[in-house]
Chain A
Amino acid sequence: TQLLEQSPQFLSIQEGENLTVYCNSSSVFSSLQWYRQEPGEGPVLLVTVVTGGEVKKLKRLTFQFGDARKDSSLHITAAQPGDTGLYLCAGAQNTGNQFYFGTGTSLTVIP
């Protein structure tokens, strides 16, 4: 069973378009992270959100944590080819020492 589901699984868009990636669960998380992974490399942390309803911005990337802390979204404005990669969400629960990773969204931005 997958604790965190991401959608869409694949996304191919033109440079300059906007997009949103979703990370959903039926479970509550104490914190949620977003990572980006490029081919042949390990994931790299983009952001951590810990408060329900929290919104964080990182240049053209906007991250939101759902009010009930069960879901999150990543919005990219004016996508660029450098945004291409696999986007992973990861949630941690109050009990335990681990993050549960989502299924991933593979984004391709076409120049």
Chain B
Amino acid sequence: QSVLTQPPSVSEAPRQRVTISCSGSSSNIGNNAVNWYQQLPGKAPKLLIYYDDLLPSGVSDRFSGSKSGTSASLAISGLQSEDEADYYCAAWDDSLNGSYVFGTGTKVTVL
């Protein structure tokens, strides 16, 4: 059972903007950096955002991350059909001697 909660799904039309929320606690998001991963159908996850709001080289700037308190968000602007994927937030959790926890995952559908 994940300690980071995300909406199961979000959908929007092409060229629009979507936001995915990730809710945690003081032992994870509240104290440590948040990352976001994109998982295209049938593929391995790919790092999308690290250290709350940083983009790895090669990731489109249509993706952006933010964090406030014990919650984080991923925004996708100018939505494209190739953005249709599962998205996971993740962070280190300080409880129980430390562990890396993933969010429940959000399926993004481009209408």
Chain A complexes with chain B: no
Spell out A's residues near B (CB within 8 Å).
none
